[in-house]
Amino acid sequence: MFDPATQQEADAPELGRVARDVLGESPRGPWSHVPDEVWNDWRWQQRHRLRTAADLERVVRLTDDERAAIAATGDQFRMAITPYYAALMDPDDPRCPVRMQAVPVLAELDVAATDLADPLGEEAYMPVPGITHRYPDRVLYYVTHNCPVYCRHCTRKRKVSDPTSAANHGQLDQGLAYIAAHPEVRDVLVSGGDPLTLSDDRLDALLGALREIPHVEVVRLCTRNPVTLPQRFTEALVTRLARHQPLFVHTHFNHPRECTPEAARCLRLLADHGVNVANQMVLLRGVNDDPAAVKALNHWLLRQRCRPYYIFQADLAQGISHFRAPLQSGLAILQALRGHTSGMAVPHYVIDAPGGGGKIPLVPEYVERWDEDKVVFRNYLGELYEYPTR
């Protein structure tokens, strides 16, 4: 478990690296000759995504396991990596946190006995194709199955990256009609895949159509583009997005190595246009099951005006069991944050109950014991305090 005495020391190298990332230039790997205006063109990044082992070998020295996995997993869950995200990888270290999130390994072929095809019961709560209506007042609205980078830990592996299952115009209209016909829906999470793979015009039209539904109060855009393709957020796009307020962006940074000047520019651009951005980190073994890394990440996010919102326990999706960290790791991270840094840097740690039970918060134990007249608590330093029960 977390030891407060060693916290300061453990933070130092990670914080130093984040400071360098934010102040310095992002690495460009084999694309150092590419002019800035080309590198920062999201269409160029999309067109030049790495899809094969040969592509990737220009950037990293692949292990035998990675090479075999790229061949073996392609039919189930494709590989695609933007040059921007690939250049963040350590070319020599297969345990690099960016590399682990984007490059397949053979462990993805293992299906644990507890794995589920649809871990969050999203299909079970699907009244029409492309809508999950699980909670009373909000829906998930899937608008695409494409993403700039296919994250190896994706919870929707069963659909994402499969072009045959993508939403067509008819399905999108059916989703809008469902939302319009259900006045209890006041909050719509536009998700996928990554909705930012739609064109500016389609996104604008979609958000405009949602805004025309009187009972839709809040729209949330769930996107990992700030992490994997921050160039996608151009001034022109963000200006159009900001017309659909109240609009919230939920993104998914997992490690300080993803905290680059480009990502900072993207988050600040959204904040400058009045778009609230929140981060939903997924706890991943070997990637970010480390209090110092999470603390550094959250501090960086706050500096860009992005709120650390959730830490998700990895769900029971098939082929991601190698990423699942024990629950004690998540609790140790929370314990390392609470009291040791500002409350704004402490997200909710939740487990999305298998089968569609919804989010259940997990919190470290601070109550030492309940007596008849008092409760004895333990504070963040492990010191005991009493409070009367009445």
Binding site residues, ligand SF4, CB under 6 A: 147, 150-151, 154, 156, 160, 192-194, 224
Task: Find the catalytic residue in 49, 99, 156, 158.
Answer: 156
Nearer to ligand SF4, 284 or 337 (CB): 284
Active site residue 266: no
Q: b/e map of 284-303 (b: 16 or more CB within 10 Å)? A: bbebbbbbbbbbbbbbbbbe
Task: Find the catalytic residue in 49, 99, 138, 324.
Answer: 138
Query: Shortest distance, CB of residue 224 to ligand SF4, whole angstroms?
Result: 4
Task: Find the catalytic residue in 96, 154, 222, 306.
Answer: 154
Active site residue 222: no
Interatomic CA distance for residues 131 and 174, integer angstroms: 9
Nearer to ligand SF4, 154 or 297 (CB): 154
Interatomic CA distance for residues 312 and 359, integer angstroms: 9
Query: Shortest distance, CB of residue 185 to ligand SF4, whole angstroms?
Result: 22
Query: Shortest distance, CB of residue 193 to ligand SF4, whole angstroms?
Result: 5
Main-chain phi, psi angles of 59, to 5 degrees: -110, -40
Nearer to ligand SF4, 153 or 299 (CB): 153
Active site residue 369: no
Active site residue 156: yes
Nearer to ligand SF4, 150 or 349 (CB): 150
Query: Shortest distance, CB of residue 175 to ligand SF4, whole angstroms?
Result: 17
Active site residue 134: yes
Active site residue 151: yes
Give the strand order in the sheet containing 306-313.
131-135, 138-142, 187-191, 218-222, 247-251, 276-283, 306-313, 348-353, 358-361
Task: Find the catalytic residue in 147, 222, 259, 266.
Answer: 147
Query: Shortest distance, CB of residue 52 to ligand SF4, whole angstroms?
Result: 18
Active site residue 224: no
Nearer to ligand SF4, 78 or 268 (CB): 78
Active site residue 324: no
Active site residue 138: yes
Query: Shortest distance, CB of residue 85 to ligand SF4, whole angstroms?
Result: 11
Interatomic CA distance for residues 317 and 131, integer angstroms: 19
Task: Find the catalytic residue in 17, 55, 65, 135.
Answer: 135
Nearer to ligand SF4, 160 or 207 (CB): 160
Active site residue 96: no
What positions carry a catalytic annotation? 134-135, 138, 147, 151, 154, 156, 315, 352, 359
